[in-house]
Amino acid sequence: MKDGDAQQKGVSRRSLLKSAAAVGAVAGLSGMALNLAAPGSAEAVTKKLPQKWDETWDVVVIGSGFAGLAAAAEAAGSGAKTVILEKMPIYGGNSIINGGGYAAWDEELHLRKKKNLGEDSVKQHIQDTLKGGDFYNMPELVEIMAKEAPDALNWMINQGGAELSDVLVIGGGHTAYRAHFSKHNSGKDYTEALKKIAEKNGAKMVLNSQVTWIWRKDADPKSPVLGVEVKRGNKIVNIKAKKALILASGGFSNDVEMRLSEWPKLVKEFNCTNQKGATGEMIRYAKAVGSDALHMNFIQLFPFAEPEAGILDRPAVYAFSGPGVGIIYVSKAGKRFVNELDRRDVCAFAQIALGTKPAYAIFTDAIPPKFGGKPAEIEAGMKKGRFIKGDTIADLAKKIGAPADVLEKTINDHNKYIAEGKDAEFNKPMKKTMVPMDKGPYYALPMWPAVHHTMGGLRINTNSQVIDVFGAVIPRLYAAGEVVGGVHGSNRLGCNATTECVVFGRIAGKNGAKEKA
């Protein structure tokens, strides 16, 4: 409901906020800071605006992942005195442990064209993203992500020295080869590049700084956010943001309570691929000062995580990157169970529906080089028990406990589908790039779904400004990256997150720096 709608119905913004307060959503409207029930407490608390500020910056960025670093780089580059506050003792969040995948329909190296991998366009990237999210996405945000994807990648290459590996992959739900990978298949390649730009532009990063509150006087649409309360060791400091506060605090996959409240099926027993700090307190604080949030129950399972601890290591990226070049997924019974090029939610729930754990990705030596996989990685993975090797299909079948004749038929049938260009079982779109598995050794990679990404979060507009529950912009408050909802709809396509974070981080940083102090 827009503010105008409320007024037409004779309901004032103030009375709505008051009734919200009654159910513990927003309380205390004047004089003091906005306040609500303290997280974890049923008691309403009153937090008074600080009498003095311990530090003052033009732009304060919360979170040191892709979105926060990109925002800080742009804000500082526009001349704003910028600080990044990070609660963990190391920088980088989920971004630094990310697999290095970045979706862009083109870049200045023109890899797709050089490799003769067919057509792609902004339009196709938008369409795939909307379809992959069941059209729940906010189209205007998707459009910006797809349009700006190449430029943001080129910026990291040119300004930050990021390097790409010489492969382009087609990921589940994408219809074109647009998944780029960084040189070392690691998000660290991008975080280091972004950090370099941010530092070169004069931004400062402070670790071990946990934001514990957002200061805003009241919920009047003209009332800006003022700053944040921060816990550093045993000390509480208040930091003023003269121009803008940018929330880039990531998702909440590791916040079991929040996860459970949004989607009760995701019990604590589910593994999680995320770093420990991927918790949702900043979303709660933003809501406490009036921010709207959307799609909070859209939470993604990564289908290919390591089955015991749920980590997303380099082998797990093989299972994601490989289907376009011939990797298949089989059950413990040795049978395929899904179109391997389908979306993550489809692949994850098809595994769970099997009723047996784990499932396996199957490939031969000829396949990994096509997506940047290296013999040394397979060697290392074998030592850790991540890859299981058999000289023949029968040998591999024995090692994973599948009937040899069934696994042989599964592999031979898939080879036939490659030759015929048609998947008679799961209607997978067969690609000319797919390699038949006709020569051993054969490998099996155990995999199982783990909680991975939260598609929901704060509502923003195309300027990355946070929108309140009445549809108005909250002055000086910006958000970018996984803390935001609405870009991916019900299901994020692989490699779109890195892109979203860098693209919207840049927008938030540029616009935040333009605010008048």
Ligand X SMILES: Cc1cc2nc3c(=O)[nH]c(=O)nc-3n(C[C@H](O)[C@H](O)[C@H](O)COP(=O)(O)OP(=O)(O)OC[C@H]3O[C@@H](n4cnc5c(N)ncnc54)[C@H](O)[C@@H]3O)c2cc1C
Interface with ligand X (CB under 6 A): 62-68, 85-88, 93-95, 97-101, 187, 210-211, 248-250, 273-274, 277-278, 281-282, 312, 453, 481-483, 495-498, 501
Residue 428, SS3? coil
State which amino acid sits at residue 275: Q
Nearer CB in complex with ligand X: 251/334: 251
Euclidean distance between CA atoms 8 and 315, whole angstroms = 57
CB of 161 to ligand X, least distance (A): 19
Nearer CB in complex with ligand X: 290/310: 310
Nearer CB in complex with ligand X: 304/470: 304
Nearer CB in complex with ligand X: 153/407: 153
Euclidean distance between CA atoms 365 and 371, whole angstroms = 12
Output the CA–CA distances (angstroms, integers) from residue 110 to 35, 126, 365, 434, 493, in the order listed: 51, 19, 27, 22, 22
State which amino acid sits at residue 202: G
CB of 472 to ligand X, least distance (A): 24
Nearer CB in complex with ligand X: 336/453: 453
What's the alpha-carbon Rg for the chain, to the nearest Å? 24
Q: Contact, 133 vs 489, CB < 8 A? A: yes
Question: Which entry of 13, 344, 459, 476 is annotated as an active-site residue?
Answer: 344
What does the block give as tokens for 196? 């370099």
Q: Contact, 299 vs 451, CB < 8 A? A: yes
CB of 325 to ligand X, least distance (A): 17
Query: Given CA atoms 507, 510, 513, 516 in this order, what sign does their dihedral have?
Result: negative
344 is catalytic: yes
Nearer CB in complex with ligand X: 312/378: 312
State which amino acid sits at residue 214: I
CB of 50 to ligand X, least distance (A): 17
Composition of the chain by helix, strand, coil, percent to 5? 35, 20, 45
CB burial string 308-325: b at 16+ within 10 A, e below = eebbbbbbbbbbbbbbbb
Q: Contact, 394 vs 353, CB < 8 A? A: no
Nearer CB in complex with ligand X: 232/335: 232
Residue 329, SS3? strand
Euclidean distance between CA atoms 233 and 209, whole angstroms = 8
| DSSP code, position 424 | T
Q: Could you list the active site residues?
A: 344
